[in-house]
Structure 1
Amino acid sequence: MRLVATVLLAAMAALFLLAHAVRGTHPFWGWVLAFAEAAMVGGLADWFAVTALFRRPLGLPIPHTAIIPENKDRIADTMAGFLQDNFLTPEVVARRMRGMNLAAAAGAWLADPTLGRGERLRSGLGELVAQVLESLDPDRLGGQVRGGLVRQFDKLDIAPLLGGALAAAIADRRHMVVVDSLVRWAGLTLEANEDLVRELIHRRANAILRWTGLDERLANSVIDGLYKLLAEVIVEPGHPLRAKIDEGLSSLAWNLAHDAETQAKVARIKRELLANPALAEWWQGVWERLRTGLIARLRDPEGGLNASLRESLGDLGRTLQDDPALQVQINRLARRMAVGLATRHGSQIVRLVSETVKRWDATTVTRRIEGAVGRDLQFIRINGTLVGGLFGLAIHAVEVWL
């Protein structure tokens, strides 16, 4: 558009020269001469006016030119004040947001599957979380998470909790499954270590028993007796050993909940476990597997995590659309947040605008403002050229009439 305006001005100059050379041959050329002369004046005047806003015409130090570069600091302060007075006051923000149903709009945005916006949000959110997990130092992050868990766990008085849980399980007979599992585990362990038990009995037996071969019979009797005992405990719900186990567990539950010495022992064991380097190493491995697995699931388009997130976003959108009471609450919350931001941080926002513009050099300010206004600046020159020519015709008409 700058080239078009310049070519139009050059064309008026050429037309002026042509009309001036042949103006005596016919009265028509007088009209052409008047139009071209006035068009040149209008085009040059508007070129000067447009250029003077952003730079010095032809580089000459003419007063009141290069207005924007010379006054960029004042313009920055004026822009900031205008922004604060007309956009960032609590009254304006509240008034503008009072007629907006942000919750319903967000619900429609999330729930409409044809737009794919919820899908893009889901993908963008998943990728953002994955990038955050990748960018953070795994060792440091895992240590921070472990440290937070350790601090919270250290504050927890775990003995009464264990005692209450154990007492509740005994009262509801839910501990019987654990007892049965322990008995079966004991039987399997005995079966897997029969040779070790026999060897232990042989070593403990005296020489006479070994010489007579009674140690082998003794070992068989011991092992068979243990198998029989375990089988009876499993088969008979009222077996005395079960009663002894229940009695011991009940005593342990009471001690955990009420006995200071038992609670102190549990607390000491807890502290020793938390201070054990092996626990820290184990947690670091667990955390790294969790982190890498979560990153892989977040980046898997067909993964269960993405499917759950997609479904959750759709449900959220439909809920926002269909629940007027929820819309009122969310809109009220959004309005209060926006008003609070304007109240607390409005001055900081406008100061950021002002300081940013002030830091720009004159060339940057000129280029950005001129680019923002765009083609209209050159239309000013074009209009000035054509309107000037029309005024020239009007003046020439008055001159001929007089």
Structure 2
Amino acid sequence: MRVVATGMLVVMAITYAIARSLQHLHPAWGFVRAFAEAAMVGGLADWFAVTALFRHPLGLPIPHTAIIPRNKDRIGDTLATFLRDNFLIPKVVARRMKRVDVAGAMGRFMSEPTGLNSRLREGVARLVANMLESLDQERLGGMVKQAVGQRLRDLDVAPLLGQALTAAIADGRHVPLIDGIVRWAAKTLEANEQLIRDMVHERAGSIMRWTGLDEKLANAIIDGLLKMLDQMAADPEHPLRMKAEEGLETLARDLQADAEMQARVARIKAEILDNPAMARWIEGLWEQARRGLLRLARNPDEAMAGRFGDFWKQVGHSLLTEPRLRMTINRFARRAAVGATASYGDGIVRLVSDTVRGWDAHTITGRLENAVGRDLQYIRVNGTLVGGLVGVTIHAIDVLL
């Protein structure tokens, strides 16, 4: 367009020269000369005006030229103010966000695994895989192990155990535990009958051993214990079972209220966490999780075809079909956007202003000229044509008068 506008100016100059030399042959050449002369004036005036926006015409330091380079800082401040006053006001953002269905977009993305969503998913998966592979695994594993260990150390385990035990007793979930202990005790007793017989034999006197009473005593002890365990297994109201339940209830209360018991549990927890085997277990958990993430990231289609994919699609379907859930998520998104605007709006404005201030004059001139330069060259073309028409009109009035 710059070539076209400049070419028209050159054509008008040539036309003016020809018409001026032939004006004496016919009055019509006067009109041609007037058109070309005024067109040159209009074209030159608009060329000067357009050029003065971006640079000094012909390199001459004429006042009030190179307007944009001289005022780039003020332009940046004005642009930032315009952005803040018209876009980064919480009230404006809230009004715009009311028309944005964030939950619906999320639901469609999650429930449609093909097309653009698939390409986007693959791109995100590659990004996640590259990030995981680029991280220092030894250092990151140490950080994860330290963070998990610190969270476990800060966790007050005793009250949680007490609450869990209380809930289990209230629901009767402790009964299988007592049954299991009784069965384990019976099996242990049967497996160690000879040990009991040897202990009774060693502690019995010579007279009991000579008469064989030690064997009878051992058998009586074993039979009595087995009978007691059988009775405990068969009778839920057995006194010893009731004692065991009372002991569990007492333990649950102590875990929640007794400082000494809580300190004892804390010491046991600290000893477990200080064990090197525990540290290796935590580190193994992180490594297993990392390998799982890498496997998922490298093959997202396979992952999306499994249970994770079914879960992902189900969540997307819920977002599309549950009005209350959509309303909640959209409300959250709107509040988050408004909060971000209120918190970071001034920072965004300063970023725009500082960025424009940081540009050199050549950069901002080039960017603005590339953005609006075509329309500005049309101004030159129009100025040439309008100037020519004005010149013909003035010449016609002069001839007629």
TM score, norm. by length of structure 1? 0.72
Q: Deviations over 1:310-355 (max 9, x none)?
A: 4323422443xx45x964x767666665555555544333222221
In the alignment, what sits opposite 2:42? 42
Q: Deviations over 1:4-60 (max 9, x none)?
A: 212222222222233233333333222222212211221111111111110112222
RMSD: 4.5
In the alignment, what sits opposite 2:250? 254
Q: 1:247 to 1:339 in 2, by over 3 A?
A: closer
Q: How does 1:153-302 map to 2 (within 5 A)?
A: 153-166=152-165, 169=168, 173-175=172-174, 177-178=176-177, 237-238=233-234, 247=243, 251=247, 254-255=250-251, 257-258=253-254, 262-298=261-297, 299-302=299-302
In the alignment, what sits opposite 1:383? 382
Q: Contact conserved, 2:162 with 2:253, CA < 8 A, in 1?
A: yes
In the alignment, what sits opposite 1:57? 57
Matched, 1:101 2:98: yes
Q: How does 1:113-152 map to 2 (within 5 A)?
A: 133=132, 136-152=135-151
Q: 1:387 to 1:160 in 2, by over 3 A?
A: closer
Q: Contact conserved, 1:110 with 1:117, CA < 8 A, in 2?
A: no
Q: Contact conserved, 2:182 with 2:233, CA < 8 A, in 1?
A: no
Quote the Cα distance in structure 2 between the aligned partners of 1:100 and 1:168.
45
Secondary structure in 2 matching 1:273: helix
How far has the Cα of 1:377 moved from its partner?
0.9
Percent identical: 51
Quote the Cα distance in structure 2 between the aligned partners of 1:53 and 1:400.
38
Q: Contact conserved, 1:109 with 1:118, CA < 8 A, in 2?
A: no
How far has the Cα of 1:362 moved from its partner?
0.3
TM score, norm. by length of structure 2? 0.72
Q: Deviations over 1:112-136 (max 9, x none)?
A: 5789676677666666665665555
How far has the Cα of 1:181 moved from its partner?
6.1
In the alignment, what sits opposite 1:212? none
Q: 1:9 to 1:129 in 2, by over 3 A?
A: same
Unmatched 5+ residue regions in structure 1?
A: 207-221
Q: 1:175 to 1:334 in 2, by over 3 A?
A: closer
Q: 1:239 to 1:307 in 2, by over 3 A?
A: closer
Quote the Cα distance in structure 2 between the aligned partners of 1:161 and 1:312.
31
Secondary structure in 1 matching 2:62: coil
User: Which moved further from structure 2: 362-371 or 24-33?
Assistant: 24-33
Quote the Cα distance in structure 2 between the aligned partners of 1:393 and 1:25.
18
How many residues matched? 368
Unmatched 5+ residue regions in structure 2?
A: 203-217
Matched, 1:357 2:383: no
Q: Contact conserved, 1:77 with 1:354, CA < 8 A, in 2?
A: yes
Q: Contact conserved, 1:119 with 1:310, CA < 8 A, in 2?
A: no
In the alignment, what sits opposite 2:205? none
* Candidates 300, 312, 317, aligned match of 2:315: 312
How far has the Cα of 1:394 moved from its partner?
0.8
Q: 1:102 to 1:233 in 2, by over 3 A?
A: farther
Q: Contact conserved, 2:232 with 2:240, CA < 8 A, in 1?
A: no
Q: Contact conserved, 1:161 with 1:257, CA < 8 A, in 2?
A: no
- AA aligned to 2:102 is A
Q: Deviations over 1:262-309 (max 9, x none)?
A: 544332111011122321221111112112213433551242334423
- AA aligned to 1:287 is W
- AA aligned to 1:238 is A
Q: Contact conserved, 1:9 with 1:385, CA < 8 A, in 2?
A: yes
How far has the Cα of 1:364 moved from its partner?
0.7
Q: 1:65 to 1:264 in 2, by over 3 A?
A: closer
In the alignment, what sits opposite 1:219? none
How far has the Cα of 1:358 moved from its partner?
0.8
Q: Deviations over 1:158-188 (max 9, x none)?
A: 3354345446545655345456667888999
- AA aligned to 2:384 is T
Q: 1:401 to 1:70 in 2, by over 3 A?
A: same
Q: 1:10 to 1:285 in 2, by over 3 A?
A: same
Secondary structure in 1 matching 2:300: coil
Q: 1:155 to 1:71 in 2, by over 3 A?
A: closer
- AA aligned to 2:10 is A
Q: Contact conserved, 2:169 with 2:249, CA < 8 A, in 1?
A: no
Q: Contact conserved, 1:255 with 1:263, CA < 8 A, in 2?
A: no
